[in-house]
Each structure stands twice: as structure tokens, then as C-alpha cells.
Amino acid sequence: MKIVTFACNWCSYAGADLAGVSRLKYPEDVRIVRVMCSGMVNPAWILRAFRQGADGVVITGCHPGDCHYMVGNYYAKKRYLLLKELMKFVGFEDERLKLLWASASEGKKFAEEMDSFKKLIEQLGEQKQLRWTP
């Protein structure tokens, strides 16, 4: 399984760090890409990840109202909802895309959410629909 997680620098990446500092465990399948803000996450990156064979993608950002840039996470949410619609429309399992608000003190939440997302993805099985095969 491969799960790509885009984490904003100010809250969620720090939350993931806290999970580490607290030695909480979550699956190795989760790989984090640091971005400045969840509002920076380009939907094309998400589709690209699926195309490259990601089984799941998570966008994590600050809780509503907490974004370091005030409104970035609202943009993230908007794009997320649209992308989900699009995925459903083309018959793609939209559960494979997840949006998570995680603050810098929610290391535990981060780890738990990653754990349960992995379980969900496992149930869905490998993602083949968008994967590029030569």
C-alpha cells in the first residue's frame, strides 16, 4: 500500500512530528510531503499521485480558522469537495482521497487517522483505476 499525505507546515506537519516525538506508531505506507499550506495543494498533484500508483491520498491542514494564512484550508476544502465529485463522476473510489484537520498538538489524532485510513484503503485493495501501466 502507498499513501501520500500532503501536510501543511504550520499545523499538520508539526502534528505528524509530535506523533514521532511521542513515539506513536502508524503504518509505514504513509509518506508525508511537506507543503506550506493545505491551500497550496494542487489537485493535479493528487491525480498525479494516483496515476503513479498511490492507493490513497490525504490532505491535512490546520483546523478551520487556524490556517497560518487565514483562508488556505478553506480553499483546500473546496478543491477537495470538487475533486471528490469529479472522482465519483468518473467512477473512481473517492474514499481514497481524505481531508484531515490536524493541529500541531494532535499527534495522537494524526497517528490514529493514518492508521484507520490505511485500514480503509486495505479494504478497498490496490488502486488500479488511475494507475498508469505501460
- Residues forming contacts to ligand FES in the complex (CB under 6 A) are 8, 10-11, 37-39, 61-62, 67-69, 72-73
Interface with another protein, residue 87, by CB under 8 A: no
Interface with another protein, residue 130, by CB under 8 A: no
Residue of 101, 102, 99, 109 whose CA lies nearest to 22: 109
Q: What is the residue whose three cell numbers read 487517522?
A: 113
Cα–Cα distance, 81 to 34 (Å, whole number): 21
- C-alpha cell, 43: 489537485
List the one residue from 66, 93, 94, 122 that touches another protein (CB under 8 A): 66
Interface with another protein, residue 128, by CB under 8 A: no
Interface with another protein, residue 2, by CB under 8 A: yes
